[in-house]
Amino acid sequence: MKIFNFPSAENINSSENLSLLESLVKRAMDIFIAVIGLIISMPLFVIAAVLIRLDSLGPVLIKQVRAGKNGKQFQLLKFRTMIVGANEETHKVLKKNPLKILLLKNPNDPRVTKIGKFLRRWSIDELPQLWNVLSGEMSLVGPRPEETWIVELYNDEQMQRLTIKPGLTGPMQVNGRAELDIEERLTLELDYIYNFSLWKDVRILLKTIPAVISGKGAY
């Protein structure tokens, strides 16, 4: 996969943040839970696919280019929750935050389909990313897998998010999700990276279920 030549890419601290043992255990957890998750989620996959096709024209699954560890591109899988051609309308429905660094999600985004709102509310649209976890492009827990055009705007400190694999869930997802601004997200994710522990991963995984149920920031 392509590695982005970001303006600050040379400032990524590429030293391994996890010990060899931690890396092996984390990967083993990823594979085991991803396999179990895919098996358990199969009925949801079928139901979601049928509802998406009945609700609007377009593919059931979409692929989005995201920045992975050390800036490597990968194709993130999601259930489609927007109308076809939604990317061309991005500039009309998103707003810049006061820092003028990051575009935030619009909770009333008109591009989102009826079924898409339901899938987002319960995070069902993210389930296909279990395949990304199984393939090694993502981990179960880590920083949010960011869109490449956003990463191109990162400063040196924000580039440190790319020192580990992005996660299906993570500190941002269990602490407000889209309601967090860039500084809040950065603080949470850098703390996770610099103070990594397997027990912290377990705690985040356990917090993910109540976070999904609460629906806070899920839009």
Mean predicted confidence (pLDDT) in 64-79: 95
- Return the domain boundaries, the chain: 17-214
* Burial classification of residue 157, based on how many CB atoms lie within 10 Å of its CB (0-12 exposed, 13-18 middle, 19 or more buried): exposed
pLDDT tens track for 141-181 = 999 999 888 888 888 888 999 999 999 999 999 988 777 87
Predicted pLDDT at 213:
86
Q: At 4, is the pLDDT very low, low, confident or very high (cuts 50, 70, 90)? A: low
Task: Select from 206, 188, 190 the least CA-distant residue to 198.
Answer: 206
Nearby residues of 183 by Cβ (< 8 Å), 6 or more positions away: 99
| CA atoms within a 13 Å half-sphere pointing along the CA-CB vector of 71 | 22
pLDDT at 196 over 80: yes
pLDDT at 203 over 50: yes
Alpha carbon 80 to chain centroid, angstroms: 15
pLDDT at 105 over 80: no
Task: Select from 136, 1, 113, 132 the least CA-distant residue to 60.
Answer: 113
pLDDT at 91 over 80: no
* CA pair distance 141, 133, nearest whole angstrom: 10
Angle between helices 20-55 and 114-121 (to 10 degrees): 150
Predicted pLDDT at 99:
43
Q: At 15, is the pLDDT very low, low, confident or very high (cuts 50, 70, 90)? A: very low
Contact 171, 188 (CB under 8 A): yes
